[in-house]
Amino acid sequence: MLLSVSGLRTRFEVDEGELWPVNGVSFAVAAGETLGLVGESGSGKSMVALSIMDLVPSPGRVVAGEVAFEGLDLLSLGGAAKRRMRGGGIGMVFQDPAVSLNPVYRIGDQIADVVRLHRGLGKAEAWRETVHLLGDLGIQEPEKRARAYPFELSGGMRQRAQIAVAVAGRPKLLIADEPTTALDATVQAEICDLLKYIQGEFGMSILLISHDLAMVTDVADRIMVMYAGRIVEIGHWTAISREPRHPYTKGLMGAIPHLGAGSGRPLESIPGSVPDLADLPAGCSFHPRCPEAGDDCQAALPRLEDVGDRLCACYRVGGSK
């Protein structure tokens, strides 16, 4: 396994008490695989990414668990090794390229910096490599675009540029957190194609994080669903999309409007809303909203267990305490 995360717990100490946006998360990403991480706001999905990169903002802290990347324990790395890993081993793409790109440097310079730092190329060589990479990632007139500032590019092109920055160091894993959320539908589809291309062409693994189950289904090989700081279901994308088994995944699937379903049909909605992390229900966090909940669900937390073709954390799907 390229990346393996086990028992990861991240805690925030705030006035309301302790919050656990990541509360015992374990998963692995194989080489060349795209793993999708799906959840609603407050599920902790972005915090998983930040915990892996050791970028959890104060007052948060990773307090338990292990993150092993190519056998290296990421959580105990020192300064220099950590900097080499960020960008060199693992690249990261964020939601809004308008925020994460530096507005006062040319796109090409931001990419070339990464190439020089992580691949040790000289200035001229790094620039050539940058232009080549931009062209490879579907940017027309790459030489001209490399000299552009972020504000001179459209939203879709900026996201391509940000992806170029993230992959310029030839990392083995790309973590993409809501990479299409700020974009229009047609551009979103282009970025999805680009992610598939990167995975295929560069042999890169991708951890794709999004609230959009349909988008993730389109790109990912395996999908994991997160709710209130915990993973509730992991499986191959065909298994999850054809036959979701955790009641939350089922609810999520029913709540998505499918194009072509016809006018006037109501959606199957999940009652209530995502729980406050400061005030989680006892037992399974989903039980107050769950149509299948019983007394056992309130009593104790179901563990994420192998139920045949997937892992699932639910007593109704054969889980245990």
Partner 1 sequence: MKDLPILSVRGLRKSFPIGRGWAGQAGALEALAGVDLDLHPGEVLGVVGESGSGKTTLGRCVLRLIQPSGGDVTLDGIDFLALRGRRLRRGRRRLGVVFQDPYTSLNPRMQIGQIVAEPLRASRQATAGTVSEKVVQLLERVGIEPRFITRYPHEMSGGQRQRVAIARALATDPDILVADEPVSALDVSVQAQVLNLLLDLKREGGLAMLFISHDLAVVERIADRIAVMYAGRIVESAPTDRLISHPLHPYTQALLSAVPSVDPALRRERVRLRVDLGHPGHRVDGCPLAGRCPVVQDVCRSEVPPLEEVRSAHRVACHLAKDQLD
x/- track of binding to partner 1 for residues 55-94 (CB under 8 A): ----------------------------------------
Cα separations (Å) of 208 from 36, 218, 301?
A: 5, 11, 27
Chosen residue from 151, 258, 298, 300 binding partner 1 by CB under 8 A? 258
Hey, what amino acid is at 232? V
Which residue, 10 or 180, is less far from partner 1 as judged by CB? 180
Kindly give the residue spans of alpha helices, DSSP state H, lying in the chain: 45-52, 79-88, 97-100, 107-119, 123-136, 142-146, 155-167, 185-202, 213-219, 237-242, 247-255, 295-299
| Whether 207 contacts 2, CB under 8 Å | no
Is residue 280 involved in binding partner 1 (CB under 8 A)?
no
The correct pick among 13, 73, 122, 154 for binding partner 1 (CB under 8 A) is 154
Q: Which two tokens stand for residue 285?
A: 């966090």
Contacts of partner 1 in 3-22 (CB under 8 A): none
Is residue 301 packed enough to be buried (19+ CB in 10 Å), middle (13-18) or exposed (0-12)?
middle
Which residue's CB is nearer to partner 1, number 100 or number 241? 241
Q: Output the DSSP codes for 228-280.
A: TTEEEEEEEHHHHHH---SHHHHHHHHHSPPTTS-TTPPP-PPSS-PPPGGGP
Q: Using CA atoms, how far apart are residues 210 and 150, in angstroms rounded to an integer?
A: 24
Task: Tell me: does residue 140 bind partner 1 (CB under 8 A).
Answer: yes
Minimum CB distance to partner 1 smaller for 41 or for 58: 41
Q: What part of residues 289-318 is at the interface with partner 1 (CB under 8 A)?
A: 289
Least distance to partner 1, CB of residue 190, Å: 8
Contact segment (CB under 8 A) with partner 1 among 22-30, 106-114, 261-269, 311-319 equals: 261-269
CA distances from 61 to 13, 37, 39, 265 (A): 9, 21, 21, 45
When binding is defined by CB under 8 A, the residue of 121, 148, 274, 280 that contacts partner 1 is 274
Identify which of residues 140 and 320 has a Cβ nearer to partner 1 in the complex. 140
253 binds partner 1 (CB under 8 A): yes
Q: Which of 78, 80, 266, 295 binds partner 1 (CB under 8 A)?
A: 266
- DSSP one-letter code for 208: E
Near partner 1 by CB under 8 A: residue from 59, 203, 254, 291: 254
- Per-residue mark of binding to partner 1, 207-246 (x: CB under 8 A): ----xxxxx-xx-------------------x--x-----
Which member of 264, 279, 295, 320 binds partner 1 (CB under 8 A)?
Answer: 264
Residues 285, 228 contacting (CB under 8 angstroms): yes
Closest CA to 32 of 175, 170, 173: 173
Tell me, by CB under 8 A, how many residues bind partner 1.
49
Smaller CB separation from partner 1, 270 or 304: 270
- Least CB distance to partner 1 at residue 223 (A): 10
What ranges in 38-96 are assigned the alpha helix state H?
45-52, 79-88
3-state secondary structure of 98: helix
Of 50-58, 99-107, 263-271, 299-307, the segment contacting partner 1 by CB under 8 A is 263-271
Query: What is the rounded CA–CA span in Å between residue 166 and residue 43?
Result: 25
Tokens of 268: 């199957």
What is the C-alpha separation between 111 and 166, in angstroms, rounded? 8
The reply on whether position 256 binds partner 1 by CB under 8 A is yes
**Residues in touch with partner 1 (CB under 8 A):** 40-41, 138, 140-141, 154-157, 184-186, 188-190, 192, 211-215, 217-218, 238, 241, 251-271, 273-274, 289
